[in-house]
């Protein structure tokens, strides 16, 4: 919320990533930026990987967006990151609106494709 309050809406995602990283450092929040996770298929690692914007406390995936509205594909992205990483909690944060929008996504959540997002 502090990042959104300070710089507002209208920047690209990397700007918010940089600002959030500064905020994490200022608040002594442990994080890894753009942490790479491998994906397995039937126990075999495939060549494609994914990069989470941030992993905080070694357990929470934080995915940032700077869009007018979040779509189901963004929730699905975080959910799939959780499944592939073995982590159980994701935060999807959208800086693209006048009011900060976020969604807490536990790995056990079954989401509805017809649900409108902020």
pLDDT tens, position by position, 20-33 = 999 999 999 999 99
Q: From residue 29, give the alpha-carbon distance in Å to each of 32, 33, 54, 60.
A: 10, 12, 11, 12
Whether residue 107 is predicted with pLDDT greater than 50 in this model: the reply is yes
Q: Quick check: 19 and 7 in contact, CB under 8 A?
A: yes
**Which of 9-18, 20-29, 38-47 bottoms out in mean pLDDT, i.e. has the lowest?**
38-47
114 compared with 40, residue with greater pLDDT: 40
Q: From residue 30, give the alpha-carbon distance in Å to each of 27, 45, 62, 77, 112.
A: 9, 28, 12, 23, 32
Q: Can you tell me the distance from the alpha carbon of 64 to that of 102, in angstroms, rounded to the nearest whole number?
A: 9
Task: Show me where the domains of the chain are located.
Answer: 2-106
Domain made up of 2-106: CATH architecture: Alpha-Beta Complex (3.90)
40: pLDDT confidence band, cut at 50, 70 and 90? confident
26 compared with 37, residue with greater pLDDT: 26
**Torsion region of 40: left, alpha or beta (phi above 0 gives left; psi -120 to 50 gives alpha):** beta
Q: Can you tell me the distance from the alpha carbon of 11 to that of 60, in angstroms, rounded to the nearest whole number?
A: 24
Whether residue 34 is predicted with pLDDT greater than 80 in this model: the reply is yes
Entry pTM = 0.85
83: pLDDT confidence band, cut at 50, 70 and 90? confident
The beta strands (E) that lie in 69-117 are given as: 89-94, 101-106
């Amino acid at each position: 919320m502090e990042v959104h309050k300070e710089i507002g809406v209208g920047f690209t995602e990397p700007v918010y990533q940089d600002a959030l990283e500064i905020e994490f450092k200022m608040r002594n929040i442990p994080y890894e930026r753009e942490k790479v996770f491998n994906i397995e298929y039937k126990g075999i690692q495939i060549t494609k990987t994914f990069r989470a914007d941030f992993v905080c406390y070694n357990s929470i995936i934080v995915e940032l967006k700077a869009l007018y509205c979040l779509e189901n594909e963004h929730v699905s992205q975080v959910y799939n990151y959780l499944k592939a990483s073995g982590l159980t909690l994701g935060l999807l944060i959208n800086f693209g609106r006048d009011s900060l929008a976020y969604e807490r996504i536990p790995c056990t959540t079954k989401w509805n494709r017809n649900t409108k997002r902020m």
